[in-house]
Structure 1
Amino acid sequence: MKLALPLPGGGLSIATFGEITAATNSTPAMKGPNGLEAAQSIGALIVVLHQRQLAERARVVDSFHAFNSMQTQERFRALFHGKKAK
């Protein structure tokens, strides 16, 4: 499975779960008896956060489409340009 990971300066890095596990295993906190469990937990957290991010983006797009309707445009014209709303 490929995951999109945020980079510090913005943008995304595509990585596999194995790449994430390998990277986290190179840190002292990931070694020892709990290292694999910690790496798996981090990977699971990344997956859950990514799914939530996608769901939130979809919600924002839906909200924007509802806002960007002809009715809203006509109301703005009436409010700010003095034209009658239909």
Structure 2
Amino acid sequence: MTVINFDMGGTSFDITLTKDGQTNLNKNSDLLRYCIGVPMIQVETLGAGAAVAGLPIIEEVTATIVIKPGWTVKLDQSGAYVITK
């Protein structure tokens, strides 16, 4: 089973993937310019202004948005989705 974990904040969208009970880990992470040897879950972040093409599915509390092939979704600085072709 594959699980997509995400957190949507005011200006960013954080996502990680868990497949068959395994989550990708970073073995050496930097924290405030210091390398720490503690494994941490690998999280990818899309900040305001980032764009994703393809077939993303966006799940919100009140709606699910499917972006069809050929379209692009961009998160603007206010946290709104801008969908263009």
TM-score (norm 1): 0.23
Which structure has the bigger radius of gyration? Answer: 1
Specify which structure has the higher proportion of helix: 1
TM-score (norm 2): 0.23
Specify which structure has the higher proportion of strand: 2
